[in-house]
Structure 1
Amino acid sequence: MESGANMTGSIITTLATEGNPPVQPFPTSLPSITESTLQPANATAVPLNGTTSAPPLSITATVTIPVSTFETVVSSETVASIPVPTVVNISSITVAPTTFTSDGTVIVTSSAQPTVIETTATVLSETTILANHTVTGTASTVVATGTLASIMPTSTDACRFTLGCESEDVFQPVAIGPPPASIPNVPGHPVSRLNINGMTGPIGTNKFYFNFFLGSQSFPAFVMPYSLSWSKGGGNAQSWGMAVSHIDDSQKVYGPNRADIPGNPASYYINPLGIQSIIFSAAELGTSTVLSTDSLGDMSGNANLSPNQGSTSYIKFPMVQGMAFVTGLYESLQPEIQTGVFFRSVVRVGQLKGNVYKYRLTLEDGKLWLLYASSSYGLNPNLKLVSSTMLQGLPRWSGLIQIAKLPPGADEQIFDNACGVYPSSGAVGGYATNSTAQYSLSWTKSGPYANNSTLLMYALPHHIQSFDQNTAGKVRQQVQLQTTTKGTATAVVSDYWILNEQLQPAMGFEPWRPDTEGVTSLPQRAIDLIQKVAPIEASQDMNAQTNLNSMYFSGKGLSKFAVIVYTMNNLAGQQGLAAAALEKLKAAFATFAENRQQFPLYYDTDWKGLVSSASYRTGDPGVDFGNSYYNDHHFHYGYFIHAAAVIGYLDPAWARANKDYVNALIRDVANPSTLDTYFPIFRSFDWYNGHSWAKGLFETGDGKDQESTSEDAMFAYGLKMWGRIIGDLSMERRGDLMLSVVSRAIQNYFLMDSDNKNQPARFIGNKATGILFENKADHVTYFGANLEYVQGIQMVPALPFSTLTRTKKFVQEEWELYFADGAVAQAQTVLGGWKGILFGNLAIINPQAAWNFFSQDNFDPSWIDGGASLTWYLAYTAGLGGVS
């Protein structure tokens, strides 16, 4: 038997025709925790952090969890926890007779008889009780019964954050109860869940795996740096398996050069689809094959291919963003490793780690892929070349096969060391002080060598910039692969990453720059002009401008008037007028808080989220930018959250009264905790990519996309400020952290100054990506190709955070290229509200010129966008230094 990673191996040059040896049945033993009271009779002990290649547990058992005497008093606006020793995925909890008392929390209930609490959530290592509740008592046991999916011990690891875990946990739940009663529960979403198994809870509608449960299921999942797609009988191999593709930079396809832009940059670039480099398949897969998904989480999910509906045989593909290996878990199938590019040579290298067999696969395009196979029962996989497009293994085989593309010049040993283990799920965590935050991206490990191997993952450029010293030491610069739209990914040998970010606690509602504390007073000249303009704008019909048939435009109107009222009250000395305007604004907001708008919100019980009723009532999926289909929720609801933060600042009692409604909007977009079972974790924000995705339940070949970076940042800013207003420090710091992370991502991938190294050199001359997809970038918008549209949609709204996300260097280059006098789209000649948007943005680099524009005697009100005001533009430009 061959062994050793350094063996040259034998080249397979002939097609295999001989028979394959018989195999033994799949093992029936089940893993368990040996140091707990759970001990199913048919279980076989394994280490606490160990895994086996057995399928997910499917047994009914009873777990007895001892709970000690305790007394917990929660009197703040945060949450507190009662520790328990295990994590158990359950279907119900039975609380044995206790002396618990509580003033309303649903977590524990005083009763002489056992109380059953139905749940489909995971009971974490802490049982959460709500704010403003007192819980005391003594209990002997808490019994959990149900179908067990996974069992793991409470972590005893030391705190990984150098900042310390005694600082503010920024991922505390916003709330865990149902949405407000004014929002009705409505089943029957126009898009049904397609072959999603074992999940009745929330699903991430805007995640990378979305194409696998929509429509034809034939479009890719972009896991970075690879993409996965179901072949469905297509391509050179005519396979029904899962195709793996990786596109090198040289393979990108570019659109026509823009003759109207200096430097003639390419109008778009795209990564070709349909290149099936390696395909995980099986002899049993064919026209009856079914693609299903399960365990769909924030950063991970499983795709499964089965020969037919109901089959107990399958290939399971754990999908985790940044995974260095694509892993296929075979259950009782005959593996077929195929290619649409054709095999040039296949080398059987030898045996690693005792039970992992390695192959080198060179394709006809010259690319080298590494294959690692490990049987569940220790047999040689005996892969044989049966055609120029297929390697075939043993019948009724169970085990793990992993594929990784070997970058030129990379050390194979790095991949050899990491094989036999794979990430099965991912999670984000973090802590913050006043001005510093650390967050982690960590992964649960599985596989036969999970106990003694470290994960190999790929980091994006913005990750590398933020790594702490320890994580930076685990980067392997010689192992790099190109991503589709995020530059070069670099390998990291670590089970978790720690990343540092600076926060901006001084940012408030007033004009602000990163190097200042904010402007609390304006020059008298500016105040005099604002005092003339603001009462006129505040006297407009707020209801008419906000109760619209669009959540997006309604939110923009509310946000606009909120800023006007704030400016009058805090910067222009018009407190009396501001108080009257505030009452009108609160009345306009009440239309939405009471869900009386033209298209009220529904709580969609299928996907679990707050959606406009517009598509339900009109039958048009695209109405209100697709809100009913989960498009753009961070844009739409971000304006409402910002408006609420301003109103709540001016009237704290209003904030308390409207807290549940505003928090529900936040939970729909950015629920941070699995304890909240009414909404998915971070529907829009992608902690791996560092920004949000706008596209919801629409299948598309180029994956998720986002157009307006500024409105993405606006949501984080609104979250930060609302958290500050309601005294939720975790929320405030989380918004701060999201704002720092998204600013870094925007500057790396979306807004391209002359030093940008992540986007292609042929494209960065556009200065903005326009629409950035997972698979392409297109210098255009969904509503037109005018240069002021493409660049300007990255500028709205102009608020205090704008100076953080849009650097002076970038704004200067963009202005000189496009909008300066004599430039190709000079701002002076732009029509309508886009003109005001451009000059508002100019304030970042030339506030005096911007002030002169907005303060001119013959100013045309048509130059103001419907979501902006002359009042704020005057305050903003003056506050940034436009008036001496």
Structure 2
Amino acid sequence: MRGFLKTLFFTSASLDLGDIQGATVRSFTTRPGCLLTGVALQPLALPKTIEPSTISEPTSIPHYGQWNFVPTSVGRSDSSEYTATAQPSESWYDSTQVNTGEDMTGVLSWNRIGGTTGTSQNLSTPIVQETGIAETAVATADDLFAPIETGAPPEVFTKQANPLDLPEGVENDGKPYQTNKFYTNLIVGAQNSSAFVFPYSVWYNKTRQGIAISHTGKSRNISRSGTGDSPYGMIHPVGMAELVFSAAGFSGNQSQLNVKDMQTASCRLEMRAGEGDSYLELPLVQGMGWVTGIYHGDIRPVVQLPTGLKRLRAENPGSLPESVLKYRVTLLNGVEWLLYITFEDPKCWKDFDLTVKDRYTLEAAKSIDGVIIQAAVAPQDQKLEVHYDNSAGMYATSFNIKGSVKGTAAQYSFEYSTKGKSQCGQTILFALPHHVSMMTSAMDSKKTGIELEAYTKGTMRGFLANSLDFKAELDRKVSWLPYSPDVAQNNLTYGVEQLQLLADVANKELQVDISSSIKGLNTYFTGKMIDKFAYILLVVSDIIGHDEITHESLDNLKTAFELLLKNKQTFPLYYDTKFSGIVSSADWKDYHGQADFGATYYNDHHFHYGYLIHTAAVIAYIDSKLGGSWGKTNKAWVNALIRDVANPSQQDNYFPVFRSFDWYHGHSFASGLFENPNGRNQESSSEDYNFAYAMKMWGRAIGDLKMELRADIILAIMRESINKYYLYSEEDTIWPETIAKNKVPGLLFENSITYTTFFGNNTEYIHGINMLPITPVSGLIRKPNFVKEEWNEKISPILEKLESGWKGVVMLNQALYDPKESYNFFAAEGFDSEKYLDGGMSRTWALAFSGGLANTLGLL
């Protein structure tokens, strides 16, 4: 930073007077527990009157204390000590002054009354959050899903129509398209890959002219990811249909798939044979207990059985109403399916008969408008089928998310919209393992005992309900500075030597023109680079506490961010009028290009924008403390990025609702508008929650409490889901030992787990991509017991050979369970930043994070 070395830069804990010889010191700015010590090499001109009232001190800590001035002038015999005592008052100190009587050099020190005046090694500096943590105890919001904004995004985002075209028949009635949901395979490419609508998978089977259905959870294929002693992975077979909903007249190329009503957790399929009002409809919604087909018009239902039929049996358990028929279909592979057929007119059942045409085909005797056919895998315990009997005829079509917060207690729910009628007035819904652990006690009475295996999420459990209701306790202590559950941020402390090292390192790392450092970078690496300096700024402002350098660092960061605000970065951002989103221009002419990792087609948006949003949050926070209004001025620009990824409301017509975060799965997906037979995927769980954390802190910085609380709920959900599906601890795993011993999945698709990454097979890649960036929220998600297990089993064996920036990543992650060793690594004399720091890391933040935790826990 220009002019940095010319500035008097001392930590708020230690000042060697010898470093400022010849200077005239008018006042000292420090905090309790600090010692300014040393002997001047030349006489210093200290003011005759030392005024404790000029000392800067956080108002939230009432305290007693005293200032001591000990003369140390060369040749002076007077060794008397001058003392001023400060008592608590509204202005923290009274007006007591210390009059030394004449100019002299000496040592000025502060210590609490009742304490001892000792050397700097015995002192530490309490770091107090200035972000209003106390207010969180009464934070309340009844409707967390109100729109952020409803107007057009800023005009600086040039409007362009994305060059990618969707297949004919994909239409959302003018509403924003979802670009990263379970049904994406049905709207891109050849449209014949699976939509994994847990607990089932469905796809458009053009050969059989119908919608294929499968549930393969029980036949999971666990095998090695490579050869020899390579780790185990898992993949389920794809394209192996057990049922196909079709109709007489669907043949050749006459039928067409239409995909409509695409929402955050649901869509609707239609198959038609030519023109007319006759069609087969399938609503798909996450958690649906049934695969439901509704036959409209005069098409005659056909159910194909590609696996082959062993037995068809009509059943009448006696509890079914006259309008419902039940069939048990046993396939040659031994799997049993239940088929329920419901008629609007109870008399119609006499004219309807499902018969065996051949070993691979069931067909109805006639067409009946509005007939409903529902399929479900038969439970192992036949007694549990009563729940299917009672709910037959009703099916889910979509769900809305509702939530509220009072204090730190949150409640949220998936409120399903349904159609049809059932005996009990409810339908069957399935919940994932992380859902069950977060459910309200009222859900206990709705359990059915039915279980189905999810593809890559363990065992799902069935509920007779029209909503799934959850609770969460929010950890509102996560804020700007280093955090762990064992260390509340308002108790974070640093020793004198730590603070001096922080000052020295920050001094070096800030000798950069940030604008130049991001030149030529894509959106992802621009975000990582600029956010690195945002964390350094936090250290300078809130830990070191140096106002002048805070101003200079803030200005440097603002100047760099101005390139983004003016859209002058390497790859400008567009507003995509076709898919309703903020996209990179990098790969506009190349669908398979990777200049910005597919972000032009909605890959990784939450990864990329999370870094930028956090940077903006830090600028707004620090700027506001200094009396500025940067956050207010640039609110619309930053909000546009958040709306792109996490728009909470259908009232905002410029973006889809929650593009990336999947409320059902409990984490985001990153794949964008790309077809993949294994469904959606996400590689980095840590960059996922980094976006949620960034959104939280931006909400706090601009005073948007609903945004902040919404992010807190998402983080609470991620704490559950990520620790089940991404971080495999010994105490909480849903997988057998062959998978669990990997500690992380690697690439987690809806249908597969592969212990690798998109950029290589190295162990540090696979684990490190689920660590970075290490931020205050890391301590909320990554539990110490897991971090220790992963360290001992996966990281420690490779550590000695690591000679890259990945070593810095894993060593800072170590601070979550062993901050002392982590700090010693980064504090070592001769530390090689070029070799051991990832491009998005600073040594300043690494020292502040590991050192703050270690010192506060009494480990240093």
- TM-score normalised per structure 2: 0.80
Q: Which amino acid aligns with 2:215?
A: H
Give the secondary structure class of the aligned counterpart of 2:698. helix
Q: Contact 1:434 / 1:505 at 8 angstroms: preserved in 2?
A: no
Cα distance change on mapping 1:785 and 1:311 into 2, 3 Å = farther
Superposition pairs for residues 498-537 of structure 1, below 5 Å? 498-518=469-489, 519-537=491-509
Give the secondary structure class of the aligned counterpart of 2:741. helix
Structure-2 residue corresponding to 1:229? 203
Structure-2 residue corresponding to 1:458? 430
Identify the match of residue 290 of structure 2 among 309, 316, 325.
Answer: 325
Give the secondary structure class of the aligned counterpart of 1:615. coil
Distance 1:190 1:198 in 2: 16
Give the secondary structure class of the aligned counterpart of 1:636. helix
Q: Does 1:290 align with 2:263?
A: no
Give the secondary structure class of the aligned counterpart of 1:525. helix
Distance 2:445 2:830 in 1: 60
Which residues of structure 1 form unaligned runs of 5+?
Answer: 1-162, 234-238
Percent identity of equivalent pairs: 37
Q: Does 1:873 align with 2:813?
A: no
Identify the match of residue 356 of structure 1 among 324, 330, 335.
Answer: 324
Structure-2 residue corresponding to 1:428? 401
Q: CA deviation at 1:194?
A: 4.2
Cα distance change on mapping 1:369 and 1:275 into 2, 3 Å = same
Distance 1:289 1:376 in 2: 26
Structure-1 residue corresponding to 2:668? 692
Distance 1:273 1:840 in 2: 40
Cα distance change on mapping 1:165 and 1:630 into 2, 3 Å = same
Give the secondary structure class of the aligned counterpart of 1:493. strand
Identify the match of residue 717 of structure 1 among 693, 704, 710.
Answer: 693
Structure-2 residue corresponding to 1:440? 413
Identify the match of residue 473 of structure 1 among 429, 437, 445.
Answer: 445
Superposition pairs for residues 108-257 of structure 1, below 5 Å? 167-192=141-166, 194-233=168-207, 239-256=208-225
Distance 1:295 1:699 in 2: 20
Distance 2:851 2:398 in 1: 49
Give the secondary structure class of the aligned counterpart of 1:880. helix
Distance 2:140 2:836 in 1: 50
Q: CA deviation at 1:856?
A: 0.6
Distance 1:726 1:180 in 2: 18
Q: Does 1:483 align with 2:454?
A: yes
Q: Contact 1:253 / 1:272 at 8 angstroms: preserved in 2?
A: no
Structure-1 residue corresponding to 2:737? 761
Q: Which amino acid aligns with 1:172?
A: A
Structure-2 residue corresponding to 1:8? none
Q: CA deviation at 1:207?
A: 0.5
Give the secondary structure class of the aligned counterpart of 1:513. coil
Structure-1 residue corresponding to 2:357? 386
Superposition pairs for residues 248-327 of structure 1, below 5 Å? 248-256=217-225, 265-266=231-232, 268-286=233-251, 287-308=253-274, 310-327=275-292
CA deviation map 1:484-520 (0-9, x unaligned): 0000000011111211111111111111112432155
Q: Which amino acid aligns with 1:249?
A: K
Distance 2:159 2:574 in 1: 6
Q: Which amino acid aligns with 2:790?
A: E
Cα distance change on mapping 1:630 and 1:750 into 2, 3 Å = same
Superposition pairs for residues 699-710 of structure 1, below 5 Å? 699-710=675-686
Give the secondary structure class of the aligned counterpart of 1:592. helix
Distance 1:330 1:874 in 2: 65
Distance 1:489 1:811 in 2: 27
Q: Which amino acid aligns with 1:649?
A: Y
Q: Contact 1:214 / 1:697 at 8 angstroms: preserved in 2?
A: yes
Q: CA deviation at 1:167?
A: 4.0
Cα distance change on mapping 1:627 and 1:256 into 2, 3 Å = closer
Q: Does 1:818 align with 2:794?
A: yes
Which residues of structure 2 form unaligned runs of 5+?
Answer: 1-136
Structure-1 residue corresponding to 2:463? 492
Give the secondary structure class of the aligned counterpart of 1:763. helix
Q: CA deviation at 1:740?
A: 0.9
Distance 2:263 2:423 in 1: 23
Distance 1:194 1:560 in 2: 45
Q: Contact 2:210 / 2:271 at 8 angstroms: preserved in 1?
A: yes
CA deviation map 1:299-343 (0-9, x unaligned): 1110111123x4422111100111111000111211111111111
Q: CA deviation at 1:199?
A: 1.8
Identify the match of residue 369 of structure 1 among 312, 323, 337.
Answer: 337
Distance 1:167 1:678 in 2: 24
Structure-1 residue corresponding to 2:811? 839
Distance 1:204 1:539 in 2: 43
Query: Which structure is larger by alpha-carbon Rg, 1 or 2?
Result: 2
Distance 2:816 2:213 in 1: 45
Q: Contact 2:438 / 2:470 at 8 angstroms: preserved in 1?
A: yes
Give the secondary structure class of the aligned counterpart of 1:272. coil
Structure-1 residue corresponding to 2:633? 657
Q: Does 1:594 align with 2:573?
A: no
Distance 1:731 1:212 in 2: 32
Q: Contact 1:194 / 1:213 at 8 angstroms: preserved in 2?
A: no
Q: CA deviation at 1:709?
A: 0.4
Q: Contact 1:713 / 1:743 at 8 angstroms: preserved in 2?
A: no
Q: CA deviation at 1:538?
A: 1.4
Cα distance change on mapping 1:468 and 1:699 into 2, 3 Å = same
Q: Which amino acid aligns with 2:535?
A: V
Q: Does 1:340 align with 2:306?
A: yes
Q: Contact 1:621 / 1:629 at 8 angstroms: preserved in 2?
A: no
Q: CA deviation at 1:577?
A: 1.2
Structure-2 residue corresponding to 1:791? 767
Give the secondary structure class of the aligned counterpart of 1:244. strand
Q: CA deviation at 1:677?
A: 0.7
Cα distance change on mapping 1:712 and 1:356 into 2, 3 Å = same
CA deviation map 1:560-615 (0-9, x unaligned): 11000110111012221121011010011111112111211111111110100111
Superposition pairs for residues 659-678 of structure 1, below 5 Å? 659-678=635-654
Q: Contact 2:587 / 2:593 at 8 angstroms: preserved in 1?
A: yes
CA deviation map 1:133-187 (0-9, x unaligned): xxxxxxxxxxxxxxxxxxxxxxxxxxxxxx9997442212111100001111112
Q: Which amino acid aligns with 1:245?
A: S
Structure-1 residue corresponding to 2:530? 558
Q: Contact 1:564 / 1:869 at 8 angstroms: preserved in 2?
A: yes
Q: Contact 1:190 / 1:616 at 8 angstroms: preserved in 2?
A: no
CA deviation map 1:716-736 (0-9, x unaligned): 111111111111110000011
Q: Which amino acid aligns with 1:181?
A: E
Give the secondary structure class of the aligned counterpart of 2:259. strand
Distance 1:168 1:721 in 2: 20
CA deviation map 1:764-800 (0-9, x unaligned): 1111001100000111000000000000000000001
Distance 1:194 1:686 in 2: 26
Q: Contact 2:805 / 2:837 at 8 angstroms: preserved in 1?
A: yes
Distance 1:493 1:540 in 2: 60
Q: CA deviation at 1:232?
A: 1.1
Cα distance change on mapping 1:592 and 1:451 into 2, 3 Å = farther
Distance 2:485 2:225 in 1: 38
Distance 1:868 1:732 in 2: 25
Q: Contact 1:170 / 1:734 at 8 angstroms: preserved in 2?
A: yes
Q: CA deviation at 1:296?
A: 0.6
Structure-2 residue corresponding to 1:72? none
Distance 1:469 1:791 in 2: 36
Which moved further from structure 2: 378-387 or 637-646? 378-387
Q: Which amino acid aligns with 2:239?
A: G
Q: Contact 2:355 / 2:365 at 8 angstroms: preserved in 1?
A: no
Q: Contact 1:194 / 1:214 at 8 angstroms: preserved in 2?
A: no
Q: Which amino acid aligns with 1:297?
A: Q
Q: CA deviation at 1:420?
A: 0.2
Q: CA deviation at 1:452?
A: 5.1
- TM-score normalised per structure 1: 0.78
Structure-2 residue corresponding to 1:68? none
Report how many aligned residue pairs link the two structures.
706
Distance 2:167 2:649 in 1: 23
